[in-house]
Amino acid sequence: MPFLIVSDIHGNREALEAVVDDARGRYDRVVCLGDLAGYGADPNFTVEWARTNVTAIVRGNHDKVCAGLEPVTSFRPAARAAAEWTQNALTVENRAYLERLPRGPLPYEGFDLVHGSPLNEDDYLLTMADLHTIRNEIETPLSFFGHTHLQGGFLIARGSVKTIDLHLALELEANYRYLVNPGSVGQPRDGDPRAAYAVYRAEDHVVEFRRVAYDTFAAGEKIRAAGLPDSLASRLLTGV
């Protein structure tokens, strides 16, 4: 069964719609690695899309703060302003949905969903050093993670760690353990402003990394019109 893997949508309707369009016909089920809300101007749209379409999902750090489970003071100023705005914008039902989202890791159909790290939902898996710290504690053959907004990830082979080559469809090999990041739909930070996602074809043991251009200007204008920090709009244009 093919899965659409999305993460870090962050209230960006234009990016989400472009991903769904681009992925049409390529998947049967949708899984999400958290951060539906925060930063973008359409949190109700992205949460309602998840409520209707997602079959497995874990919470992200922004979901927790936007749902009031953690204080906004844990965030830096731009994220904090966006979280406070989102708390007011969310409908009661959508806020309750965020509040009930499960903490990862969530085992699902032979793989795990996590937001940050398999050991701690709020940790960032950014560098080889981060992986060396945890490599002996990873037992699941395949985990999908988000949080860093960087498409790619790592594989652990006989105790050593390698980064995943984004240029090829990733063919999963037995005996390796994979930590795969589909990238961020709504706020990429790897220098490519296109929305990022992945398709996992379980029967072929293949993960395909995909990017799709969307109207970053329109999404940014909504952020400005909402009175949110300008940096949250301008970073969509550059993908950093």
Residues in contact with Zn ion by CB under 5 A are 8, 35
Rounded to whole angstroms, the maximal C-alpha distance in the chain is 51
Nearer to Zn ion, 116 or 220 (CB): 116
Least distance in angstroms from the C-beta of 21 to Zn ion? 22
Q: How far apart are CA 48 and CA 51, in angstroms?
A: 5
Least distance in angstroms from the C-beta of 60 to Zn ion? 6
Instruction: List strand residue ranges (DSSP E) for 10-133, in order.
Output: 29-32, 54-57, 106-108, 111-113
Least distance in angstroms from the C-beta of 231 to Zn ion? 15
> Is 119 in contact with 143 (CB distance < 8 Å)?
no
Nearer to Zn ion, 79 or 161 (CB): 79
Which amino acid is it at 142? L
Nearer to Zn ion, 10 or 177 (CB): 10
Ramachandran angles phi, psi of 144, nearest 5°: -105, 135
Nearer to Zn ion, 35 or 208 (CB): 35
Tell me the two tokens of residue 118: 């398999």
Least distance in angstroms from the C-beta of 61 to Zn ion? 7
User: Which pairs from 163-166 meet CB under 8 Å and 24+ separation?
Assistant: 163/128, 166/209
Instruction: List strand residue ranges (DSSP E) for the chain, in order.
Output: 2-6, 29-32, 54-57, 106-108, 111-113, 142-144, 152-157, 160-163, 170-171, 177-181, 195-201, 206-212
Nearer to Zn ion, 2 or 43 (CB): 43
**What's the chain's Rg over C-alpha atoms?**
17
Nearer to Zn ion, 8 or 208 (CB): 8
Least distance in angstroms from the C-beta of 122 to Zn ion? 11
Least distance in angstroms from the C-beta of 186 to Zn ion? 8
